[in-house]
Amino acid sequence: MSLFTAESRRLAKRRLIRWAVVAGLLVLAAVAVGTFFTNQKVSPATVAAAEAEATRSWQENVRYADEERARCEAAKGTADAGNFPPDCAQITAPAREEVQTEWFMPATFDFRDQFDSTWLVFAAILALVAFVAGASFVGAEWSSGGMMNLLLWRPRRLQVLGTKLAALLTWVVVGSVVVAGLWTAAFWFIALQRGTTAKVTPGVWQSVGLTGLRALALIVAAGVLGFALASLGRHTAMALGAAVGVIVVVQFAVGIALDLAEVKFMEAWLIPTYITAWMAKLYTIEDYNSCDTSGWGGCVPAKMEITWHTSGWLMLATVVLVLVPALWTMKRRDIT
């Protein structure tokens, strides 16, 4: 039996990994089911009802504007005049076309405009599953003594660790691609039944594919990080503890401290910012503490853009900085 086949079997037999996969799939299924039941297909009757509601809202605005204009005229020369503009004619209702019918339409799933945003949920959930799988796969081998027994059979350390990582990533990629196909099919079905698939061009499918590839890269990176951290600490708890520490202690503590200090572009120090930028291709941070209120533009906050290129290089650097020491320690440290 080849080492890769043996490692693949070990991966499949890990109970924690099985439960993590099941839990991840259940969460994804819940998201899809929730989307199905919270959207509905637009019919001519739905459009007519929305148009009637928009007309009613506009009429209420007209009535309110007339009443306010009358109060303005009556307040001239009194102490209440300061509560109204100098020219009462400025109090007007919006034009009918400004009250859009879309505001009163029920939620409907537009595959072209909305499906890309679902990839972030998909990637986040499967990245967590991949992280747990990677950590459990190698961490259990160290804590149970299985790694030492394996090295007696195959004493090449880096080959053993590399094959384990290759087996993990192979099945992470295969599983993610299969689930991604089911995810896309599920939301296409939702769009057919509870929304629309209009204007889905080859360009839209290309965008869907590229976003899916970025999701896959994020999932793979999470799997490598979990694997490398557990290998460094020689225990599953090392990786899980590091993840909890970064998320709970570092991120929350840093976020609170930066917020209290009113640091400019504080979101640039938080991990979710870069994950969102990676998936959405661009994330804009606005600093309302530095609003430019000059002129008639009101509050014009300073902006900082985080691109997917920046996020990608940061993700790659993080993976390299954790994986290389894991490989080095495997080669240099005693196996006890």
pLDDT digits (tens, 9 = 90+) for 60-110: 988 998 888 888 888 887 877 778 888 888 888 888 888 888 788 888 899
Does 159 score more than 80 pLDDT? Answer: no
Helix (H, G, I), strand (E, B) or coil at 190: helix
Comparison of pLDDT for 192 and 301, the residue scoring more: 192
Does 238 score more than 50 pLDDT? Answer: yes
Q: Tell me what percent of the residues of the chain surpass a pLDDT of 90.
A: 33
How do residues 49-69 score in pLDDT, each as one tens digit?
888 888 898 889 889 988 888
Tally of CB atoms within 10 A around 99: 19
Spell out a b/e string for 50-62, using b for 16 or more CB atoms within 10 Å of the CB, else e: beeebeeebeebe
Give the per-residue pLDDT at 296: 46
How do residues 193-234 score in pLDDT, each as one tens digit?
988 898 899 999 999 999 999 999 999 999 999 888 888 876
Residue recorded with tokens 């994950």: 275
For the record, the structure tokens of 161 come out as: 């660790």
> Can you tell me the distance from the alpha carbon of 170 to that of 168, in angstroms, rounded to the nearest whole number?
6
Average pLDDT in the chain: 83
Reported as a pLDDT band with limits 50, 70 and 90, residue 4 is: confident
Considering all CA atoms of the chain, what is the largest pairwise distance in Å, rounded to the nearest integer? Answer: 99
Does 156 score more than 50 pLDDT? Answer: yes
**For the packed helices 3-13 and 157-194, what is the interaxial angle rounded to 10 degrees?**
50
Nearest to 72 by CA among 87, 92, 59: 87
pTM: 0.80
Highest mean pLDDT pick, 55-59, 170-174, 241-245, 284-288: 170-174
Amino acid at 236: T
Residue recorded with tokens 């990994």: 17
Tally of CB atoms within 10 A around 159: 11
Residue recorded with tokens 């192979």: 170
Does 183 score more than 80 pLDDT? Answer: yes
Rounded average pLDDT over 263-274: 82
